A and B are shown apart, each in its own frame.
Chain A
Amino acid sequence: MVCLIWHLLRESNRRMPDKEALIHGDQRLTYGEVARRTAGLATSLRRSGLKRGDRVGIYLEASIPQVISIFGVSQGEGVYVPINALLHPEQVMHIARDCGMKVLITTAAKMAALAEILPEIPSLEFLVITGEGEAAEQRVPVHNFERMCATKLPETWRESAIEKDLAAILYTSGSTGKPKGVMLSHANVVAGSRIVSTYLEITDKERILAVLPFSFDAGMNQLMTVFEKGGTLVLINFTFAREIVQTLLKERITGLAGVPTLWSLLAQPNSTLRKQPLPDLRYITNTGGAMPQPVLKILREALPAARVFLMYGLTEAFRSTYLPPEELDRRPTSMGRAIPDTEILVLTEQGELCKPGEVGELVHRGPTVSLGYWNRPADTARVLRPNPLLPPEMGDCEKVCFSGDLVRMDEDGFLYFVGRRDAMIKSSGFRISPTEVEEVLFQSGKLRGAAVIGLPDETLGQVIKAFVVPRDGEILDISTLLETCAEKMPSYMVPKSVEVISDLPKTSSGKVDYPALRRREEL
């Protein structure tokens, strides 16, 4: 019976140990090899002091150790916290401190970059280093990943975790403050895998190219669906769209998931995707924002044999809707309808069902509703609320997820995105909280006021525009201000434009009036 995440691997290994599971460049691992290394890592983590429920950060680029770490931590009964390799030390420190990280798995080069912040993580008990390079001396023990993976699983191995246990924490931004950790149980992740592999009809013949990071729920879901069904996952580190197309061809990829920015890259006029037939690619999926219609048209022309699934999900509920490919011509702008075993409600402010066509908040109910935010009960209570439609006799037995996304539903149950209820920005598939960017702008020490909004952008979905008010007498150099931002944040968070204004518009309660700033940009 599959209860825990690593059971997906265990079952596929039992059925087909010699089947190719994982490919990265010229490294190719079977299910048997992945399972052995995973068991070795789990054993060594426990021997080094990992306890059930301890948080383990995984700060690695797309790589075989990254996948082994996810399953090894799961088998060792820890909680894995994938950290996007693009993040800078500041953001890594926030995640590590916020979740009380006990172990961090990374490379020697990344550890060197983190040198200043590692002493600021009091909960850290040991580090695990993979790959080349000498690791500098640390205040905590440093273990070697490859040696840990070579350990044999003892015959006395006992498992006490159950599917209700916390399996992973995925950090994501909201409309305010720093990123929050969304808690997913083993049951959430396994249900997400079962649901998505059902409607994408994934089998052991599937060969998926993993372009999305595993710190993103859709990326992690791809990994799970492949391991559930015994397919093959191909990992890639890329800069050029062409590298993706070459890998699609060379590895005879059957399924590719991306965010709108990736599709825009692949649909550029000079892209090889438009010249190169890819007969093996049977489907593509989009998530993380609406795919621009011109890009969709190019992809459908370039990939006539591939079925296109437009999907929508939010980390707090893992995965929510998809548009079946046969509906694409009839409803090209729809975000689809509920995924299997899930109900999507569109509710008014009063918590009643909207009529068809009426705008309301998207509310998700089903087995992928997360456990809420780590150590943030008030934020959790805002997003996960009792299902208002249950008969009172049932009490508050079920929590549903209020997405903050405003949508409308047509007569046939298909949904259309209208906008956000709050000021959250989405760029290149990343959720960005305006306050997090504003805080970094303030760190320059030269500002009296700062507010950022998202402007529509064809390739990125949205780009960030900053409005800044210099301190009195301060001569502001925008170029230096942006340098400070670029030092402290990944590029998707750095404002693309900055406008100096004399005062920020305020609401009657004295808060920044974001709608007024958007109106100023004619949005």
Chain B
Amino acid sequence: MTQNPEVEERIRGFVLKQFPRARKNGLQPGDKWLQNGLIDSLGILDLVHFLEEEFSIQASDEELTPENFESLSAVVAFAEMKVSSLSTEELPANERPLAK
């Protein structure tokens, strides 16, 4: 899947800011951050909160799964899927989540 570089940068920026160990060790899109302990259950809450605010999306509990959150690329794919499923047609272009 092609990923929107801007979405990836916004999420990466948040993770680097929020989790100091990510800054120290660098962050590859495919790094399994749940397995290597970089992000724990509370970290996931912060990340979900960020996604909801930043992209005006709502993540349901059913969507909070390891598949959607195991790595940067998984989260980017999840965020893009959620954003594209929003009805953005009614919003003026400058208020669409990805134009933020």
B40 at the interface (CB under 8 A from A): yes
Is the Cβ of B20 less than 8 Å from the Cβ of A240?
A: no
A483 at the interface (CB under 8 A from B): yes
Q: For residue B60, which residue of chain A has the nearest CB?
A: A270
The proximity string for A residues 66-105 relative to B, scoring 1 for CB distances below 8 Å and 0 otherwise, is 0000000000000000000010000000000000000000
Inter-chain CA distance A265–B46, complex, in Å, is: 11
Q: For residue B59, which residue of chain A has the nearest CB?
A: A270
Is the Cβ of B24 less than 8 Å from the Cβ of A486?
A: yes
Inter-chain CA distance A237–B19, complex, in Å, is: 21
Which A residues are CB-close (under 8 A) to B23?
479, 483
Is the Cβ of A483 less than 8 Å from the Cβ of B24?
A: yes
A175 at the interface (CB under 8 A from B): no
The proximity string for A residues 240-270 relative to B, scoring 1 for CB distances below 8 Å and 0 otherwise, is 1110010000000000000001000100101
A62 at the interface (CB under 8 A from B): no
A239 at the interface (CB under 8 A from B): yes
The proximity string for A residues 194-214 relative to B, scoring 1 for CB distances below 8 Å and 0 otherwise, is 000000000000000000000
Inter-chain CA distance A245–B62, complex, in Å, is: 11
Is the Cβ of B58 less than 8 Å from the Cβ of A270?
A: yes
Inter-chain CA distance A261–B44, complex, in Å, is: 13
Interface residues of B in 1-57 (CB under 8 A from A): 19-21, 23-24, 34, 37, 40-45
Is the Cβ of B20 less than 8 Å from the Cβ of A479?
A: yes
Across the interface, B61 reaches (CB within 8 A) one of A241, A483, A485, A486, namely A241
A63 at the interface (CB under 8 A from B): no
Which A residues are CB-close (under 8 A) to B34?
239
Which A residues are CB-close (under 8 A) to B21?
483, 486-487
Interchain nearest-CB distance for A237 vs B (Å): 10
Given A479-B20, A486-B24, check contact A242 B43 (CB 8 Å): no
Is the Cβ of A242 less than 8 Å from the Cβ of B65?
A: yes
A375 at the interface (CB under 8 A from B): no
Interchain nearest-CB distance for A476 vs B (Å): 15
Is the Cβ of A271 less than 8 Å from the Cβ of B61?
A: yes
Q: For residue B23, which residue of chain A has the nearest CB?
A: A483
Interchain nearest-CB distance for A234 vs B (Å): 18
Given A261-B42, A265-B45, A491-B40, check contact A242 B20 (CB 8 Å): no
Which B residues are CB-close (under 8 A) to A245?
61
Is the Cβ of A242 less than 8 Å from the Cβ of B42?
A: no
A380 at the interface (CB under 8 A from B): no
Question: In terms of DSSP, what is the predominant structure of the interface of chain B?
Answer: helix
Across the interface, A265 reaches (CB within 8 A) one of B19, B24, B41, B62, namely B41
A333 at the interface (CB under 8 A from B): no
Number of interface residues of A (CB under 8 A): 25
Number of interface residues of B (CB under 8 A): 22
The proximity string for A residues 265-304 relative to B, scoring 1 for CB distances below 8 Å and 0 otherwise, is 1001011100100000000000000000000000000000
A512 at the interface (CB under 8 A from B): no
Is the Cβ of B62 less than 8 Å from the Cβ of A483?
A: no
Inter-chain CA distance A439–B84, complex, in Å, is: 48
Across the interface, A242 reaches (CB within 8 A) one of B40, B45, B58, B62, namely B62
Is the Cβ of B64 less than 8 Å from the Cβ of A242?
A: yes
Residue in A239, A479, A483 with the greatest tally of chain B CB atoms within 10 Å: A239
A108 at the interface (CB under 8 A from B): no
Given A240-B65, A242-B65, check contact A482 B20 (CB 8 Å): yes
Which A residues are CB-close (under 8 A) to B61?
241-242, 245, 268, 270-272, 275
Is the Cβ of A239 less than 8 Å from the Cβ of B24?
A: no
Interchain nearest-CB distance for A365 vs B (Å): 36
A459 at the interface (CB under 8 A from B): yes
Is the Cβ of B24 less than 8 Å from the Cβ of A487?
A: yes
A494 at the interface (CB under 8 A from B): yes
Interchain nearest-CB distance for B68 vs A (Å): 10
Inter-chain CA distance A454–B40, complex, in Å, is: 21
A238 at the interface (CB under 8 A from B): yes
Which A residues are CB-close (under 8 A) to B43?
491
Inter-chain CA distance A479–B42, complex, in Å, is: 20
Interchain nearest-CB distance for B95 vs A (Å): 24
Interchain nearest-CB distance for A264 vs B (Å): 9
What are 23 A-B pairs at a CB distance below 8 A? A86-B37, A240-B41, A240-B65, A240-B66, A240-B69, A241-B41, A241-B61, A242-B64, A242-B65, A265-B41, A265-B45, A268-B45, A270-B60, A270-B61, A271-B61, A428-B42, A459-B42, A459-B45, A483-B24, A486-B19, A486-B24, A491-B40, A494-B20
Contacts from A to B (Cβ < 8 Å): 86, 238-242, 245, 261, 265, 268, 270-272, 275, 428, 459-460, 479, 482-483, 485-487, 491, 494
The 3 closest A-B pairs by CB, nearest first: A486-B20, A482-B20, A486-B21
Known contacts A261-B42, A265-B45, A482-B20; 14 additional CB pairs below 8 A are A86-B37, A86-B40, A238-B41, A239-B34, A239-B40, A240-B41, A240-B66, A241-B64, A242-B62, A242-B64, A245-B61, A270-B60, A275-B61, A479-B23
